Structure 1
Amino acid sequence: MDALELLTSRRSEKKLAEPAPNKQQLEYLFQSALHVPDHGKLNPYHFIVIEKEGLAKFEKLLESVVDEFDLGEERLRKAKSIAYRAPMVIAVIAKLNEEIKKVPTWEQELTAGCATYAMQLAAKAQGFDNVWITGPWVNGSELRKAFKCEQQDKVVALLLIGTAGEKLERDKKILDTDSFISYLE
């Protein structure tokens, strides 16, 4: 798959199964993340890989979010489903440094987001599917504590990675870009 095909065909896949990336394949994901634009070369991110036995702990952390924010029974069921929706989850934490005036925190957060997207593309290039989720899950106190987040840090992604159980054949969409583009004249 060439780069343009990869960029224009990436889709989120929510039902993922084994296999997940092995150690060498995972290294490509992280190398891709470390090569995104990064003003000041701050590396404002940290990655936490969750797999195998870690998924049970991840489930408990998601359930604690439901309790903390009183999200109800439906979200409790969803917490269980998210924890085991993929054989691997990579949490991406934006490690924000508010003291660096040259690189505002919003820019550091964008770098962490770019790192997440680079990992998505690197996974897809190696034949793995994925989905990036956030929602209320990323704000839970117990989850943030388990991920060793400082007060200013933000969990920007829970990246679920594996192999699509049911590969849906989708037509390649050529999206209309006209409404998103203008020219300064």
Structure 2
Amino acid sequence: MNTLALLTTRRSTKSLTAPAPDELQLDTILQAATQVPDHGDLTPYRFVVIHSEDGQNRFRQLLRDTVTQLNFGEESMKKAQRVGNMAPMTVAVICTPKTGKPEWEQQMTAGCAAYAMQLAAKAQGFDSVWISGLWVNSPLLKDAFACGEKDKIIGLIMLGTAVCSPDAPKNTDVSAFTTYW
């Protein structure tokens, strides 16, 4: 797949199954994440890869416990079940801001790293979805991922093979949100 096709056709896929990337493919995905714009070469991110059966079970329990702890209700519990079983591999992208530099820039870098993972996965024939919502603010996930006071979970990148073909690429009319000078 050429670069422009990759950039213009990547879509999120919420129904993922095995296979997930193997060790070499995952290394390529993580390498791609490290090549993003990073003002000052701060590397303001780190990754937690959840792929073993024990890791997946622990992750699922943390999602359920988050719903219970924060009293989010039955609908959120159903969502926790869906998210916990969405993919055979999850990579948590965590922004670890360095002191003395704008945090927003560092969060943008971590966000770019998450997107680069999605693109690198797609380039290798895998699909993904970036999950955020209530999960990125979960005190239990933050604790499990050893987040410091200023660390922020940017997203959970779910990786695997699409159960069915992803949606067709958007046919976006850019004139609705583009101004030319």
What range is the shorter-chain TM-score in?
over 0.9
Q: Secondary structure at the match of 1:46?
A: strand
1:180 and 2:181 equivalent?
Answer: no
8 Å contact from structure 1 (residues 68, 140) kept in 2 = no
**Alignment deviations for residues 64-87 of structure 1 (CA, whole Å, 9 cap, x no partner):** 210222110121122122111100
Report the counterpart of residue 10 of structure 1 in structure 2.
10
CA RMSD in angstroms, aligned pairs only? 1.2
Q: Which runs of 5+ in 1 are unaligned?
A: none
Alignment of 1:49-128 (within 5 A): 49-53=49-53, 54-97=55-98, 99-100=99-100, 103-128=101-126
Range with bigger deviation, 122-131 or 60-69: 60-69
Tell me the residue number matched to 2:25.
25
Counterpart amino acid of 1:82? V
Identical amino acids, percent of aligned pairs? 49
How many pairs were matched up?
A: 180
What are the ranges of 5 or more consecutive residues in structure 2 without an aligned counterpart?
none
1:106, distance to aligned residue in structure 2 (A): 0.2
Give the secondary-structure state (helix, strand or coil) at the position aligned to 1:27: helix
User: How far did residue 180 of structure 1 move?
Assistant: 1.7
Alpha-carbon spacing, 1:31–1:64, altered in 2? closer, same or farther (3 Å): same
Runs of 4+ in 1 over 3 A off after TM superposition: none
* Counterpart residue type for residue 78 of structure 2: R
Which residue type is aligned with residue 69 of structure 1? L
Query: For residues 82 and 173 of structure 1, what CA distance do their matches in structure 2 show?
Result: 24
